[in-house]
Structure 1
Amino acid sequence: MYREGHAGFNALLYAPILPVVSHVWSLELALVGALMAVGVANIPDLDQPLPRIRHRGPTHTVWFAALVGLIAGVGTELLVPATPVAFAFGVVVGTGGILAHLAGDVVTPMGISPFAPLWRYHVTLEWFKSKNSRINRAFLLVGSSALFASLGLTVWLSI
């Protein structure tokens, strides 16, 4: 998947979570989660311009997802310190956002090795190529629409 596809996919996955987080904790935490879910969507692809790191290598593993999750947890704790679950929430959304990126790459022919270097098993479903512009645009359109609709409904119901 390309950048817009990953962002849309993460937005689509977070859309049903936003109203629940807002209801149980706060709209502020729900919004931080939305920004984080979409914001981490393309972090694994930061390896592309780096000459010494293979694309879909270390940044496309569950270990990297856990690392980003821990960093996101600390960031969420700093942004929403009054929320007791801020750190755990950030870890879940940050890790989940990276895992969603990995899921988006598993469906392409190039695939990934999510447990490298411990286990080099390569996973690919070969459903469509990463550069398929229709799929990428569809995920962006559907995901962003779902997230904005979820946000609008959440705000409307809280008034």
Structure 2
Amino acid sequence: MHRAGHVGAALLTYVPFGFVLSAAEPALAILGGVGVVVLSRLPDIDFVLPGVEHRGATHTVGFLLVVTAVLAGVGFVISGTFGTGTTPGQSAVLGALIGATAVGSHLLADMLAPPGLPLLWPVSRAQFTVNVTHPRDPLANYGLLTFGVVLTVLVGYVAS
């Protein structure tokens, strides 16, 4: 998928979490949504890393777990920095949620198109795909973006 598709997939994946968070702390819900959108293309860092093939190591469950753990740690360390009054544990959970949702949504979106992803690498090189579209399909990319934005706005309206 392209940028639009990944942003849309990130929004769609984050909507239920954002809805629940908005009931307790709307600012955290917005922070989480921004974080997920900003990091939604993180697995594509393989385009600029020398020696790392696209849809390789950065498109795996292992990468998802590493990013989730790192962002949980960052959340723990910066707890309270934004004046939200969250505990270190709560901030760690938010960081983990942002990491898992951003990378997870990217992997899900990329699985819509061939050739698939080596999700279980290095344990297995098996490629996982549902093969329903092409990565460059504008209808799929902008459809995901439109649906993600519309659903986010609707849920935000209902939650407010």
Which TM-score tier does this pair reach, normalised by the shorter chain?
Answer: 0.7 to 0.9
Is 1:107–1:124's contact at 8 Å kept on the other side of the alignment?
Answer: yes
Query: Is 1:112 the counterpart of 2:112 in the alignment?
Result: no
Q: Percent identity?
A: 27
Shift of 1:116: 0.6
Q: 2:9 & 2:86 partners in 1: Cα distance?
A: 27
For normalisation by structure 1, the TM-score amounts to: 0.87
Number of residue-to-residue matches in the alignment: 154
SS at match of 2:95: helix
Does residue 151 (structure 1) correspond to residue 122 (structure 2)? The answer is no
Change (3 A) 1:79 1:34: farther
The list of structure 1 runs, each at least 4 consecutive aligned residues, that deviate by more than 2 angstroms after superposition, is 74-77, 79-82, 148-154
Q: Please state whether the residue corresponding to 1:28 is helix, strand or coil.
A: helix
1:80 shift after superposition: 4.2
> Tell me, which stretches of 5 or more residues in structure 1 are unaligned?
none
Instruction: Choose the corresponding residue for 1:97, options 93, 98, 102.
Output: 102
Distance in 2, matches of 1:96 and 1:121, equals: 23
Q: Could you tell me which residue of structure 2 aligns to residue 83 of structure 1?
A: 86
Deviations 1:104-150 (A, max 9, x none): 11121121001111221111221111000111001111101221332
- Asked if 2 retains the 8 angstrom alpha-carbon contact of 1:8 and 1:142, the reply is yes
Give the secondary structure class of the aligned counterpart of 1:110: coil
Return 5+ residue gaps in structure 2 as ranges.
Answer: none
| 1:11–1:147 contact (8 Å) kept in structure 2 | yes
Taking structure 1 as reference, are residues 141 and 27 closer, same or farther at Cα in structure 2, changes over 3 Å only?
same
Is the CA contact (8 Å cut-off) linking 1:29 and 1:86 kept in structure 2?
Answer: no
Larger deviation: 122-131 or 44-53? Answer: 44-53
Give 1:56-71 correspondences, 5 Å limit: 56-71=55-70
Cα deviation, residue 152, structure 1 = 3.4
Q: Counterpart of 2:118 in 1: which secondary structure?
A: coil
C-alpha contact (below 8 Å) 1:29/1:80 kept by paired residues: no
Q: Which letter maps to 2:115?
A: M
Q: Which aligned pairs between 1:11-22 and structure 2 lie closer than 5 A?
A: 11-22=11-22
SS of the aligned residue for 1:45 comes to helix
* Cα distance in 2, alignment partners of residues 130 and 97 from structure 1: 18
Distance 2:59 2:79 in 1: 27
Alignment CA distance shift 1:103-1:27 (3 Å): same
